[in-house]
Amino acid sequence: MRWRAKWNAPIGAVGLVALAVAWAYGADASFGLWVLPVAFAHFGAGALVGRWWALLLPIAIIVVCIPAKSVPPNAFDTPAFGFVFIFELFFGFVLIAAGVVVGRSLRGKPGFRDPDPWA
């Protein structure tokens, strides 16, 4: 059975949000070790989704992680929500945008668009 491209966008979006939420709520001494995998996940989700609406994902991550303010501080003495907020605000958008550009260029034409991505 061939993998269908219609599942790329939902899997990329849900996977990124799930990983970022696990990062925020799983804050402990190894909190800083999550930065690189989460950064790669942002880039990969942008490439997998391949559409500009993916730039809304950092906002969704920030909203979902608001209750993480109560998670105890990590090794950097920063509340988990503060660290995730700063990361998403400064790096999340850029990494996803770079992933979208790469994903669109790998699909062929820069203006490539699936006729019906949800069908």
What residue ranges do the domains of the chain occupy?
Answer: 5-106
Judged against a pLDDT cut of 80, whether residue 4 lies above it is answered with no
Q: What are phi and psi of 10, to 5 degrees?
A: -65, -40
If you ran DSSP here, which 8-state letter would residue 31 be given? G
Listed residue (16, 111, 23, 85) closest to 54, CA to CA:
16
Owner of token pair 């999340």: 92
What's the confidence (pLDDT) of residue 32?
A: 66
Judged against a pLDDT cut of 60, whether residue 74 lies above it is answered with no
Q: What is the pLDDT of residues 5-63, one digit of tens each?
A: 677 788 888 888 888 888 777 766 566 677 888 889 999 999 888 888 999 999 988 88
If you ran DSSP here, which 8-state letter would residue 112 be given? -
What's the confidence (pLDDT) of residue 77?
A: 60
What's the confidence (pLDDT) of residue 97?
A: 94
Instruction: Give the residue-averaged pLDDT of 55-79.
Output: 74
